[in-house]
Amino acid sequence: MNRTRIIFFVVILLAVLIVAGSFLWQWLSRQKVTAPVQEKLEVRIVCALPVEPWVQEAGRQFNAEKHTLEGQPIEVSIVPMDGLTAMSRYEREELLIDGRVPTAWIPDSRYLVELVNVTYKEKLGRDVFLTDGEYRARPIATSIFVWGIYASRAEVLREKYGRIDWQVIHDAAIAKGGWPELGGSPDWGYFKLVVPNPRRNVGGLAAMVAAAGEYYDKTNIDVADVTDPDFQKWLGELMGSMTDLSSGAYTVEDLALFGYSTGDGGQLLESDLLVNMAGIQTRWADPLVIVYPKYVTWFDFPFTVWMGSETTAMEKNAALEFEKYLLSPEIQQMAVQRGLRPANLNVPLTGEDSLFVRWQDQGAQPIVPRTSAMRSPDREVLLALLRWFDLNVAQR
């Protein structure tokens, strides 16, 4: 075989190898397994207003840490909403986030969850929020309603009555001579009560329930108590001292911004008072003091997973991952820094940056004094109180 023929066969062989290599490459490319795109597990949470800033901050941190469940990334989104508003929208089946039922709900109090369950049990014959098992409603923090009152006003009331409670506030509210009759300055005018609007903030209802508890000297209020003419007259005189601003949804913020024009004092959420205490002292010469009442209302902010078919099992479990995160010591310490009492009992209230320690001179107490906890009102009591408020306070 001469040299020319050898070169010819070599060229042909190289061409065949190139063509074969090209086909092999294309075949291997088609056979290559492409890793599937991981879809996010979206956890949509409706959250009560008092804990929303803390939960939002925790949610941003949770998302930044890129938590996963079975290899799928979890993304949490928080929607702030008052508990009464959320409850009514759940019951009308109108509570949607981006067109979907929320994965979980953090209301102000467990009794709101129970009221929604009653409604759905009538419709579906089952609960949509569980009270036991892995998916049960669990508190993530707590706070109570306490008296927040300007120090100068508190001093005058204690001098005259020896205490601060609903009856004292009632008597101050109906004093025809205003503050001078009580021993205060004429410049103060008449006593002005600070209470959240019950139609905009569930705290307003909590305040009225606590007032009823003290009036009747018992922890359980029924419809007959609410509709009693003598009680209604007493409550009307009390609530008649509310100012226009104190009918708002964010009452403690109003105190910090507008001072005495908002009111002299009232029953408000402890965490809100602690968070705004510095702003009030910076803006106004007269600081607020905190007084713990005999009859208190606890808000336990339960993390509650929706058990309907509108959310998948993976989404429900992803919600539990965020619940565990909220209960972790680090995140619970963040709650303490916002004036909330931790649900994780291993987290102290007296740690670094504790508002309970910082404002002890203003009456804040890490350990709640001996009090009587008001029992949660049923739907009929709530409706009766709201109806009374609409007819006697909201329209004036």
Q: Which stretch of DSSP H or E encloses residue 79?
A: strand 72-80
Q: Which stretch of DSSP H or E encloses residue 148?
A: strand 141-150
Strands (E), the chain: 41-47, 68-69, 72-80, 104-106, 138-139, 141-150, 265-269, 288-291, 295-296, 298-299, 302-305, 341-342, 372-373
Distances (CA, A) of 353 to 81, 197, 322, 337: 28, 31, 24, 6
The tokens of 334 are what? Answer: 């963040």
Domains observed in the chain: 41-140+301-327 (3.40.190.10), 143-299+364-394 (3.40.190.10)
8 Å CB contact between 277 and 210 = no
8 Å CB contact between 174 and 231 = no
Beta-bridge partners for 47:
80, 106
- Beta-strand pair 138-139/341-342: unpaired
| Three-state secondary structure call for residue 366 | coil
Contacts of 335 (CB under 8 A, 6+ apart): 51, 54, 140, 141, 341, 342
Q: Please give the chain's pLDDT, 396 residues, in tens.
A: 555 555 545 445 555 555 555 655 565 555 544 434 458 899 999 999 999 999 999 999 999 999 999 999 999 999 999 998 999 999 998 998 888 999 999 999 998 999 899 889 888 888 899 988 899 999 999 999 999 999 999 999 999 999 999 999 999 999 999 999 999 999 999 999 988 888 888 888 888 999 999 999 999 999 999 999 999 999 999 988 887 544 455 678 888 888 888 889 999 999 999 999 988 888 888 889 999 998 888 999 999 999 998 999 999 999 999 999 999 999 999 999 999 999 999 999 987 789 999 999 999 999 887 778 888 888 899 889 989 998 888 766
Instruction: Please give the Cα distance from 163 to 173 (Å, whole number).
Output: 15
Please report, for the chain, how many H helices and E strands are present, in that order. Answer: 16, 13
User: What's the whole-model pTM score?
Assistant: 0.85
- Beta-strand pair 41-47/104-106: parallel
